[in-house]
Amino acid sequence: MRRVALITGGASGLGLQTAKHLAMQGNDVMINYRHSRERAVQLQQRLQQEGIRCELVQGDVSCKEDCVRIVRETVDKLGSLDILVNNAGPYIFERKKLVDYTDEEWELMIKGNLSAVFYLCREAIPLMRQKGWGRIINFGFSHAHEAIAWVHRAAFAAAKVGLVSLTKSLAMEESGHGITVNMVCPGDIVGQHKEQTISEVRREHEMNLAPVGRPGSGEDIARVVAFLAQEDSDFITGSIIDVNGGLNVQGKQFTRNKQNHDRGREK
């Protein structure tokens, strides 16, 4: 049976590989984008050439009205909504302490990374209940389930740690309706690696801190999402899954400093 998957932020970053893998799995896909229309169209054309039904919907997940419209347009254009991947979410790259955040920045982090999931799920779950089947996959960050400190990222971390509890609560509430809810927590996957395949990052020779010896890629995340979306993955729900190559992203700076220190001693 063909399912319909909605991927927020699906035109770029981790969402790009996720959209591709769900499409290769035989699902119809709705790609949500905020500003990246040109890239969204390129991906749509690529998938349509492979015989995949693919539609686009513009919208900002930090806006409640857009969340409602995104779900409704998905159903209007593709006839259903079976798999919801909550990938999109704002992030502030500037390193700053909590007291230095403006009201607008704090509200953006909470609205875009936590409230957005609430609004999207509230619209999607009744549709999934009607079919007695659904998959909701939220994105977190490595070790989010441990509620560890993340210096200079307090607002983002607070929203995602809250999403951990929301994920587990929804999983319990909806388990009787054939709906699973899980969270995938990427590690330190940055820059172009977000859109690359595993084979592409394996060919790189740059220094990498991950114990597995290679950078992470978007495909690493997409493979887990695609597995959770499968028919027979219904025994997995309420799970928080780290995909980090053995590296704690919050401990990256400590690891780098230690490696530099060790090199200095060797000299």
C-beta atoms surrounding 241 within 10 Å: 19
**What is the spatial distance between Cα 263 and Cα 234, in angstroms, rounded to a whole number?**
48
Average pLDDT over residues 167-180: 98
**What is the spatial distance between Cα 237 and Cα 256, in angstroms, rounded to a whole number?**
35
Indicate the range of 71-85, 175-189, 215-229, 252-266 predicted with least confidence: 252-266
Digit-coded pLDDT (tens) for 50-62: 999 999 999 999 9
Q: How confident is the model at residue 205 (pLDDT cuts 50, 70, 90)?
A: low
Q: Residue 221: pLDDT above 80?
A: yes
Total domains in the fold of the chain? 1
Closest C-alpha to 78, from 141, 29, 119, 115: 29
User: What is the residue range of 177's domain?
Assistant: 4-266
Digit-coded pLDDT (tens) for 105-160: 999 999 999 999 999 999 999 999 999 999 999 999 998 898 888 899 999 999 99
For residue 102, give the CATH number of its domain. Answer: 3.40.50.720
**What is the spatial distance between Cα 186 and Cα 137, in angstroms, rounded to a whole number?**
13
Q: Residue 254: pLDDT above 80?
A: no
Q: Is 57 helix (H, G, I), strand (E, B) or coil?
A: strand
133: its two tokens: 């089947």
Q: pLDDT at position 1, please?
A: 76
**What is the spatial distance between Cα 57 and Cα 135, in angstroms, rounded to a whole number?**
20
Q: Taking the model in full, what pTM does it have?
A: 0.91
